[in-house]
Structure 1
């Protein structure tokens, strides 16, 4: 991965592209949204958004993660969300995915299409074997995103993540490169 230039990923009506400095406003808007803050527990200043964007190229080079801006192809090329490979372990062929979608783009299948696209790309280009989605059991929207993208629900991890309102149990979903 470190020897490759991070590529764009064409999906079903979405384009995943590396983050750009000009995307700071979208990052700030995302992490200022109460629904996103509830699950990601982050808010950002302009400087923090710049650092967050800049961190993705470093994570790519160190082979510890990869992040993309999600662009709605029909929506004039504007950033409508983010998707990233976190907890990436190339040796083990494993990654966890994180995503969010800005309010104006919700309800159009953006997250599940982005998730399907990054999953297919990760299996084909990175040779990953297993990709996981973990989300709070209190987040039915993420449950639906994972299911629509072909991820199988595997179980519940008790008290794994602390959110602003306390400890949350987490649903775990996964797709394997051998799944159809």
Structure 2
């Protein structure tokens, strides 16, 4: 009998296709991927709404971060997808299925889009693809999505993708650029049994 407390392997997704996008693993050896990861983390809009555990400011830090993402996949903890345009392969952003809990059958999703790709519903389309993968391939029952209070664009993306608003979590996220102050978070969630929204 399998011990459900042990991490389960994540089905490797070499490429998820749909809605004009391809979601693939990030490659720490790719200069293009490292540059896109760095640009994403240096983007003022990203920094306004996110304060990562480790601040990324240079190429070495970006590569080390991507190597850490690859280790999380190998350990069954998370899956970080590089979001690309299917037509030309251009990197558009990131979507992650994070903190995967195989016992309680849930995970948390997060995403960001590069400045040049905004206004094209990239995050919406990527979230629909990643959610389908998490439910159908990983077998999860619940996906949670949290965003800082006031991040209206992220709220609209969540709702368009069937992630219902469930409440406000007090002081559940760091303030912009700080680790000694906190802000409230809107919690959204979608279940495997919920109807998948149309793209």
| 1:150 aligned onto 2:162 | yes
What are the equivalent positions in structure 2 for 1:1-180 lying under 5 Å apart?
Answer: 2=9, 4-20=11-27, 21-22=29-30, 23-41=33-51, 42-74=55-87, 76-164=88-176, 166-180=181-195
Separation (CA, whole Å) in 2 of partners of 1:11 and 1:114: 9
Structure index of larger Rg: 2
Contact 2:10 2:73 (8 Å CA) reproduced:
no
Deviation by residue 1:109-163 (Cα, 9 ceiling, x = unmatched): 1001100100011100000000011001111111011111111111100111112
Gaps of 5+ in 1: none
RMSD over aligned CA atoms reads 1.4
Instruction: Compute the TM-score of the two structures, normalised by the length of structure 2.
Output: 0.85
Instruction: Find the counterpart in structure 1 of residue 3 from structure 2.
Output: none
Contact 1:63 1:90 (8 Å CA) reproduced:
no
Separation (CA, whole Å) in 2 of partners of 1:9 and 1:88: 19
**Corresponding pairs, count:** 179
Instruction: Compute the TM-score of the two structures, normalised by the length of structure 1.
Output: 0.94
Q: Which has the higher helix share?
A: 1
